[in-house]
């Protein structure tokens, strides 16, 4: 140290006469500074030796105190971070869809796994009055509460603009202009917004810098490309709009970069080529999300620490030509009653024979008959009967073969509501529903099955069973007026 250094000048100005370093395990942890002695004598050699011995004893104690303070500070910081993560997770959990859309002839799946740090991934579905479905997927840069708050803001603006009947490109354009003034510096949002027409299969989409979706069709795998800057970077951006027509059997995968940027112990990334190859080799023997997650786990290994959210949304059109099959259904089997000669079709649908799709059938029928203003208990019983009948048709009639759909037709006349459910099973006719022999079943003298039709019969006013060499059909009847109204008391 130079004799005229600023440090020495500061020591002299402070009147410090002796500086004793406090060293613990070779590390300088502090200084012991002493001013002039009261007696105006200089510090003797004995004094200095005593002070050095004192410093040797004090340094470890000081270091322990420093470590305790550091640990306490770190614990408080960890608690702050954990609290922030809890808030971020709560925001995301509140805003993500609680259930998937029910679209006749379509199958949707989703998966979301947040990283420990909680990123800003989000996805959403928007339901339009004309039957179309809006699909959103996005990713906010940064993590934690700031990302979650930007995600919530972006989602709200997107939904507001989308319900303004705007096209995908215009929705992103207006969202970008509204988001830009308020988004924190160095943050932006990638987002893809698409609108599906479930009848025609038309998918209109626009992209704000998000990972390109993959379209799986008979010709192979294609990227759905549309250009556009991420949201929030600068105002006045335009977003290209494209469209694709999804044929029966086609599917689309939307995903976040947490999938393709996941890495293994060698720091190799999962990557786009691997993802595209897996989709090209996919045979349809399991849900595509299950395939991708299995391959991701195999690639990363058990030691992988997830660094970013992983979000997947798949949209698949059923292989069947469901609409034509339903339209060609024969006239109702039930005996005509006064006012029954003029049947009106409320809805027709085709449900892929896959576990869980009975809920889709139940909700779709419930929506179709809502205008009839059925008493709530009768409506819930009808929906339960539809779910049970659809599940039986998928399992026993179609053997859970996805290419064999269950067709459903809802008809109404002045006096009667009918839901007609048909599978593609053949062989042994379905027996008419009857009361099960409980004692015989408990004694295992009869099959434990056979409760389904009995349950259905007790949920609606009447049930008809029709079987031929190609199909099994159940007709579920609710009487809307007359002597038979509510013959199964609600």
CA distance 467 to 283: 33
User: In the prediction, which pLDDT does 215 show?
Assistant: 96
Alpha-carbon Rg for the chain, nearest whole angstrom, is 35
- Which of residues 146 and 140 earns the better pLDDT score? 140
User: In the prediction, which pLDDT does 431 show?
Assistant: 55
Coil/strand/helix, residue 21: strand
* Lowest pLDDT segment from 22-36, 85-99, 304-318, 373-387: 85-99
Indicate whether 351 pLDDT > 70.
Answer: yes
pLDDT in tens, 158-182: 988 898 878 999 999 999 999 999 8
* Lowest pLDDT segment from 75-79, 99-103, 179-183, 440-444: 440-444
Tell me the average pLDDT of the chain: 81
User: In the prediction, which pLDDT does 334 show?
Assistant: 40
- When pLDDT is cut at 50, 70 and 90, the band that residue 195 belongs to is very high
DSSP per position, 360-406 = HHHHHHHHHTGGG---HHHHHHHHHHHHHHHHHIIIIISTT-TTSPE
User: In the prediction, which pLDDT does 323 show?
Assistant: 34
Indicate whether 371 pLDDT > 90.
Answer: no
pLDDT in tens, 268-308: 899 999 999 999 888 776 788 888 988 988 888 877 776 77
Coil/strand/helix, residue 395: helix
Q: Quickly name the fold that domain 96-317 has.
A: Phosphatase 2c; domain 1 (3.60.40)
Domain ranges of the chain: 6-70, 96-317, 322-479
Mean pLDDT of 459-475: 85
Q: Which of 204-208, 216-220, 319-323, 454-458 has the highest mean pLDDT?
A: 204-208
Range list of H helices, 191-321: 257-260, 272-281, 288-300
User: In the prediction, which pLDDT does 428 show?
Assistant: 58
Residues contacting residue 468 through CB under 8 Å, at least 6 positions apart: none
User: In the prediction, which pLDDT does 34 show?
Assistant: 83
CA distance 170 to 11: 68
User: In the prediction, which pLDDT does 87 show?
Assistant: 66
Q: Is the dihedral of CA 366, 369, 373, 377 positive or negative?
A: negative
Q: Quickly name the fold that domain 322-479 has.
A: Heat Shock Protein 90 (3.30.565)
Mean pLDDT of 389-395: 89
CA distance 10 to 341: 106
User: In the prediction, which pLDDT does 77 show?
Assistant: 77
Residue 301 DSSP one-character state: -
The answer to whether 490 and 378 have CB atoms below 8 angstroms apart is: yes
User: In the prediction, which pLDDT does 169 show?
Assistant: 96
Mean pLDDT of 229-237: 94
Indicate whether 130 pLDDT > 70.
Answer: yes
Q: Which of 52-56, 249-253, 322-326, 337-341 has the highest mean pLDDT?
A: 249-253
Residue 253 DSSP one-character state: E
- Which of residues 232 and 400 earns the better pLDDT score? 232
Mean pLDDT of 384-400: 88
Mean pLDDT of 395-423: 89
Domains 96-317 and 322-479 share a fold: no
**Which residue from 211, 210, 284, 296 is spatially nearest to 251, judged by alpha carbons?**
284
Indicate whether 489 pLDDT > 60.
Answer: no
- When pLDDT is cut at 50, 70 and 90, the band that residue 475 belongs to is very high
**316 forms bridges with which residues in the sheet?**
107, 251
Indicate whether 117 pLDDT > 70.
Answer: no
* Lowest pLDDT segment from 33-47, 187-201, 424-438: 424-438
Indicate whether 136 pLDDT > 90.
Answer: yes
CA distance 467 to 380: 27
User: In the prediction, which pLDDT does 285 show?
Assistant: 65
Mean pLDDT of 116-135: 84
Mean pLDDT of 399-420: 89
User: In the prediction, which pLDDT does 446 show?
Assistant: 45
Residue 269 DSSP one-character state: B
- Which of residues 79 and 23 earns the better pLDDT score? 23
Residues contacting residue 233 through CB under 8 Å, at least 6 positions apart: 176, 180, 188
* Lowest pLDDT segment from 26-30, 69-73, 94-98, 360-364: 94-98
Beta strand extents in 81-156 (DSSP E only): 106-113, 120-127, 133-140
- When pLDDT is cut at 50, 70 and 90, the band that residue 417 belongs to is very high
Residue 460 DSSP one-character state: S
- When pLDDT is cut at 50, 70 and 90, the band that residue 448 belongs to is very low
Q: Chain centroid to CA 466: how far?
A: 40
């Amino acid at each position: 140290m130079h004799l005229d250094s600023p440090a020495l000048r500061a020591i002299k100005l402070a009147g410090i006469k002796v500086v004793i370093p406090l060293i613990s395990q070779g590390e300088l942890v502090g200084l012991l500074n002493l001013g002039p002695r009261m007696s105006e004598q200089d510090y003797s050699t004995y004094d200095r030796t005593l002070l050095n011995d004192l410093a040797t004893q004090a340094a470890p104690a000081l270091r322990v105190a420093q470590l305790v303070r550091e640990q306490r500070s770190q614990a408080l910081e960890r608690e702050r971070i954990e609290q922030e993560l809890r808030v971020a997770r709560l925001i995301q959990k509140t805003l993500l869809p609680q259930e998937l859309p029910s679209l006749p002839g379509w199958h949707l799946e989703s998966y979301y796994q947040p990283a420990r740090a909680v990123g800003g991934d989000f996805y959403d579905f928007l339901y339009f009055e004309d039957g179309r479905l809006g699909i959103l997927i996005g990713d906010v840069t940064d993590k934690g509460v700031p990302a979650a708050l930007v995600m919530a803001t972006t989602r709200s603006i997107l939904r507001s603009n989308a319900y303004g009947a705007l096209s995908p490109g215009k929705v992103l354009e207006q969202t970008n202009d509204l988001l830009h003034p308020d988004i924190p510096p160095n943050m932006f949002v990638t987002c893809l917004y698409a609108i599906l027409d479930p009848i025609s299969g038309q998918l209109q989409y626009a992209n704000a810098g998000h990972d390109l979706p993959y379209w799986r069709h008979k010709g192979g795998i294609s990227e759905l490309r549309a250009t556009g800057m991420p949201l929030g970077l600068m105002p006045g951006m335009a977003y290209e709009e494209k469209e694709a027509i999804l044929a029966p059997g086609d599917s689309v995968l939307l995903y976040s970069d947490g999938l393709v940027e996941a890495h293994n112990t060698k720091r190799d990334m999962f990557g786009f080529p691997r993802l595209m190859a897996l989709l090209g080799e996919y045979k349809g023997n399991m849900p595509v999300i299950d395939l991708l997650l299995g391959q991701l786990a195999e690639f990363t290994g058990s030691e992988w620490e997830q660094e970013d959210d992983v979000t997947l949304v798949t949209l698949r059109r059923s292989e069947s030509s469901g609409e034509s099959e339903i339209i060609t259904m024969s006239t109702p089997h039930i005996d005509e009653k006064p006012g029954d000669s003029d049947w009106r079709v409320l809805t027709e649908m085709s449900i892929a024979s896959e576990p869980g799709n009975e809920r889709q059938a139940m909700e779709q029928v419930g929506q179709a008959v809502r205008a009839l203003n059925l008493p709530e208990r009768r409506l819930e019983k009808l929906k339960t009967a539809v779910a049970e009948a659809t599940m039986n048709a998928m399992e026993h009639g179609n053997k859970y073969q996805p290419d064999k759909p269950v067709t459903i037709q809802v008809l109404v006349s002045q006096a009667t509501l009918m839901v007609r459910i048909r599978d593609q099973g053949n062989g042994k006719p379905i027996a008419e529903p009857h009361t099960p022999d409980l004692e015989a079943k408990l004694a295992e003298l009869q099959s434990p099955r056979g409760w389904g039709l009995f349950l259905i019969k007790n949920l609606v006013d009447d049930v008809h069973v029709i079987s031929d060499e190609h199909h099994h059909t159940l007709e579920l009847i609710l009487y809307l007026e007359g002597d038979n109204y509510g013959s199964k008391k609600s």
